[in-house]
Amino acid sequence: MEQRQICSEKIEEDKNHMRSKNNGKDFCIFALPGLFCFIAVVIVPFVYGVYLTMTDWNGVSAVKNFVGLKNFAGVMKDTQFWTSLLLTFKYVIFVVVIVNVMAFGIAYLLTRGMKGQNFFRAGFFTPNLIGGIVLGYIWQFVFSRAFVSIGESTGWSLFEVSWLSDPTKAFAALVLVSVWQLSGYMILIYVAGFMGLSEDVMEAASIDGASGWTKMRSIVMPLMMSSVTICLFLTLSRAFMVYDVNLSLTAGAPYGTTEMAAMHVYEKAFTSRQFGVGQAEALILFVIVACISGLQVYLTKKKEVEA
């Protein structure tokens, strides 16, 4: 009896041993290359970046003096950074809400079997294939030439002057272009979500007498929550980190009123040549984005259900 127990224990032990041995090998084969790359291009630069926030490096000199938290004091004094951060929040709210509402709505329409829906799906996705810089320049032309031209021939005061020369309208232009670009991608995800909805559940809901708004609220929405999680996360992080469209469409114009946080960080580091302060601002921006998107994922994940 005892013998058998010892025996089985031994087998257990061997199994464990083998598993861990195999796991080690598997880990080396599959995860190590990826881990190495991840550490080399993400973790190391990140840690180095944090270190740079505590130096007075100007990007060129061989010596870096340790200055402690002086750069963070510099961030506090940089009023333009806080203005641009506030503007970024405003921008994020507009973009995230409009993109998701629109994408959800359009995806809903495009999965109801309407005529030419594949054409429209492809059409809405196209803007996403154009790079941000190019897109910005194209729209710059539209806002400052095409719109003005329309304004001249129709006399509509809305188009009389270039949208990019007025702070409010330039901001609206930024939101508009970002929505135009981001929606396509989100539509794609929502379409996939809608297609994955089980017909059985829908039918059962109909038989139970649910229709219209009730069905949407109690059946469709909970089942779509996983798509919502992804889309919200993507739009949030992309909107917070916006740079390319900002640079090519307005470049902060008119008079620096549309300069978003990411662009301000770049300007601080490279144009004003204050690497430490710029890097400290980047770190603050990172913490804010990480907290907000982490919170969002946590909250929306909680609402996800399985059919």
Partner 1 sequence: MRGKGCKGIALALILVLMSGMLTGCRFGFASDPDDPNEEVKEEPIDTSVDTFEYDSSLSGTNITLLNSKAEIQVALGKMGEEFEKKSGVHVEVMPVTDGDSPYTKVVSLYNSGNPPTMSILDTTDVIALAEEKAADLSEEAWIAEAENYLTEVNGKVYSLPLCIEGRGIIYNKAVIEETLGETFDPESITTLDEFTEFLEKLKKAGMEKPVSMAKEDWSLGAHHLQFVYETYDGTSEGAQKVIEQIKSGKMDLHSYNRMQEFLDMFDVLKEYNVAKGDPLGADYDEMAIDLADGKTAFWFNGNWAWPNLSEAGADNEDAYGFLPYFLNDDPDDFANQKIQGSPSKQVMVDGQFASEQEQAAAKEFLNWIVFSEIGQQMMVKTCNLIPPFQNNPYEPGDPLSRDIYEKVHADKAFNASAIVPNDHWAVLGAAMQKYLADRSDKEELIDSVQGYWDEQE
Give yes or no for residue 162 binding partner 1 (CB under 8 A): yes
**What's the number of CA atoms in the CB half-sphere (13 Å) around residue 55?**
16
Contact 181, 102 (CB under 8 A): no
| Residue 236 CB, nearest approach to partner 1 (Å) | 26
The pair of structure tokens assigned to 249 is 């469409």
Give yes or no for residue 117 binding partner 1 (CB under 8 A): no
Contact 248, 242 (CB under 8 A): no
Q: Which stretch binds partner 1 (CB under 8 A): 6-14, 156-164, 177-185, 298-306?
A: 156-164
Helices (H) then strands (E): counts for the chain: 15, 0
Of 102, 138, 161, 288, the one binding partner 1 (CB under 8 A) is 161
Give yes or no for residue 127 binding partner 1 (CB under 8 A): no
Rounded CA separation 149/247 (Å): 24
Contact 53, 283 (CB under 8 A): yes
Give me the amino acid identity at 38. Answer: F
Rounded CA separation 261/281 (Å): 9
| Residue 264 CB, nearest approach to partner 1 (Å) | 11
Give yes or no for residue 45 binding partner 1 (CB under 8 A): no
Give yes or no for residue 114 binding partner 1 (CB under 8 A): no
Nearer to partner 1, 1 or 60 (CB): 60
Give me the amino acid identity at 190. Answer: Y
Q: Which stretch binds partner 1 (CB under 8 A): 32-40, 45-53, 160-168, 298-306?
A: 160-168
Contact 74, 277 (CB under 8 A): yes
| Residue 203 CB, nearest approach to partner 1 (Å) | 27
Give yes or no for residue 48 binding partner 1 (CB under 8 A): no
Nearer to partner 1, 104 or 159 (CB): 159
| Residue 245 CB, nearest approach to partner 1 (Å) | 13
Give yes or no for residue 148 binding partner 1 (CB under 8 A): yes
Give yes or no for residue 107 binding partner 1 (CB under 8 A): no
DSSP structure string for 226-273: HHHHHHHHHHHHHHHT--HHIIIIITT-STTTT--HHHHHHIIIIIS-
- Indicate the Cα dihedral angle 251, 253, 257, 258, nearest 10°: -40
* CA–centroid distance for 157 within its chain: 35
The pair of structure tokens assigned to 258 is 């549309």
Task: List binders of partner 1 among 267-306 (CB under 8 A).
Answer: 267, 270-273
Give yes or no for residue 255 binding partner 1 (CB under 8 A): yes
Give yes or no for residue 79 binding partner 1 (CB under 8 A): no
| Residues linked to residue 55 through DSSP beta bridges, in sequence order | 66
Give yes or no for residue 149 binding partner 1 (CB under 8 A): yes
Nearer to partner 1, 56 or 304 (CB): 56
Of 121, 215, 256, 297, the one binding partner 1 (CB under 8 A) is 256
Binding residues for partner 1 (CB under 8 A): 58-62, 115-116, 119, 133, 144-146, 148-149, 153, 160-162, 164-165, 247, 252-256, 267, 270-273
